[in-house]
Amino acid sequence: MYKQIDSNKQKTWALFLVFIVFISVIGYFLSTYYQSYDFLFLAIIISIAISLISYYFGDQVALLSTGARLIKKEDNPYVYNLVENLCLTAGLPVPKIYLISDNFPNAFATGRNPKNASLALTTGLVQSLENEELEGVIAHELSHIKNYDIRLMMAVIVLVGIVTMAADMWWRSGMRRRSENSERGGQLGGVLMMVGLILLILSPIIAKLLQLAISRKREYLADADGALLTRYPDGLARALEKISSYKLPMQRASNATAHLYIANPFGGRAAKGLAHLFSTHPPIEERIRVLREMA
């Protein structure tokens, strides 16, 4: 567990460093073309600013993108008491608790550390699972918080989104410049389109590599830690069986946030072809088998 925590912290800073270098290289390319280092300095400042925003506010980006709603104890005493009791057992501060209005039974945790963590559960999860099963899912997510998986997974959300947005922005900017009549505008448009085309080709690869930097082993470790916390591995195993039986995707399923959830939010589509090969989640059947062997 301690090795996993250290590894997650190191990978988080490594991702930020790679992102800063990536944006800075683009700035250097523009600075060389225009023979001015203004673009390089601007790129460095922007990349550092985005990294800081990702670190301190990435959890809010994730929660907003899923439509999660913050609840208090009086809003849902059942869920709040389950979380509070498990936190006492695990020695963790109680995270902020959110509900997502979606029939897909799913959940995720996010934040930069246990003191600044949030837990989001779908209404479908709360309604479809029995007490021991819901406890198993919550314990799994609390393990992500304890192991600092949440910090690494949170960083990936913003960085993946920025890389994708940058590709689209550069391409569109180049198209506009090319449409200008001036020779200068045409030359600049050609450069921007070239950079945009390179980013369009590389951004899906970069985004997937960023997501795959989060090892699938994190789910097995969180399953094991969650089972240890509840002392009832079969509760989480039964929960995963019910989750896997739901085939429709979540209403706000997104590639940028898919790695956060306890199960792939794309439902049946996630188990087909290359989508399964490049999934950030290990097969649920395998996770269930391992949990049943613990019982």
> Which positions are annotated as active-site residues?
141
CB of 160 closer than 8 Å to CB of 255: yes
6/159 Cα distance (integer angstroms): 21
Amino acid identity for residue 112 in this structure: R
CB of 69 closer than 8 Å to CB of 92: no
9/51 Cα distance (integer angstroms): 15
74/114 Cα distance (integer angstroms): 23
97/79 Cα distance (integer angstroms): 9
**Beta strand pairing status for 117-122 and 96-100?**
parallel
**Beta strand pairing status for 107-111 and 96-100?**
unpaired
Burial (0-12, 13-18, 19+ Cβ within 10 Å), 219: buried
Q: Which two tokens stand for residue 60?
A: 């809010």
b/e burial code for range 42-61 (CB count within 10 A of at least 16 → b): ebbeebeebbeebbeebbeb
Whether the CA torsion 123, 128, 130, 132 is positive or negative: it is: negative
